[in-house]
Structure 1
Amino acid sequence: MIEVEKAAVILKLLGDKTRLTMVKMLDTNDYCVCEFVEIFKMSQPAISQHLRKLKDAGLVQETKRGQWVIYSLNRENEYYPLVHSLLEYIPNQDFRLKELEEQGLRISCD
């Protein structure tokens, strides 16, 4: 059971369309900041700000691969069950990655 105040913080965080979409995307794939920049057509600092908020809440985690930072959904987070239940109501967003690949803009961050 999650306290109402903590649930409200998570729900407010996911109330942003960009962050909610990012979390849904991270439910099926890991992403580099540079890929989110291309997908959302936003600046790198703006994308990083969204990811920082998600990371600060513990919803996402990062892994460094050389100079690249790869983000993934933190399924070990205490709020993951709440987030996961919300994500079941959101349409799959894998088409965004497919569009990026079709445009030749999928970036290999390895």
Structure 2
Amino acid sequence: MIPLDALAETLKLLSDKTRLTILALLKEKEMCVCDIVEILQMTQPNVSQHLRKLKIGGLVNETRRSQWIYYSLNVHDKPYLQGILDQLPSMREQIDAVKAESCN
């Protein structure tokens, strides 16, 4: 069972709408910061700060591929988060819209 302090810290991370939106995006697929910035219409430093907090909290992984950093969910060992993730809305439409714009 997860210690109460750790659970409280995780839930604090999830109390921010932007971080919940980022998790909803990453639930759909692994993404780079530039795509998240475009979808959220926020500055890159702001998005990076939220991703840093999620990474420190153990909720996301980062993988470097040449100059790009890609983020993915890291919740396989956190079954207590599955109910929250299941309630997040699909972000597929927003992701597809960004893809369509970048192809034009």
TM over 0.5: yes
TM-score normalised over the length of structure 2:
0.90
Instruction: Give the aligned length.
Output: 104
Closer, same or farther: CA 2–68 of 1 in aligned 2, 3 Å: same
Q: For the residues of structure 1 that align with 2:103 and 2:30, how far apart are their CA atoms? A: 16
Gaps of 5+ in 1: none
- The worse-fitting range, judged by mean Cα deviation, of 85-94 and 53-62 is 85-94
Residue deviations 1:22-62 (CA, integer Å, cap 9, x gap) = 11211120010001110111111001000000000111011
Gaps of 5+ in 2: none
Length-normalised TM-score, structure 1: 0.86
Q: Which residue of 2 aligns with 1:29?
A: 29
- Could you say which residue in structure 2 is the equivalent of 1:62? 62
Match of 1:71 in 2: 71
1:7-18 correspondence to structure 2 within 5 Å: 7-18=7-18
1:16 partner amino acid = D
Q: C-alpha displacement at 1:81, in angstroms?
A: 1.2
In the alignment, is the contact (CA less than 8 A) between 1:31 and 1:72 conserved in 2?
A: yes
Partner of 1:41: 41
Report the Cα distance in structure 1 between the residues aligned to 2:3 and 2:49, rounded to whole angstroms. 26
2-structure distance, mates of 1:105, 1:47 = 23
Q: Is the contact made by 1:38 and 1:105 (CA closer than 8 Å) also made in structure 2?
A: no
Percent of residue pairs identical: 44
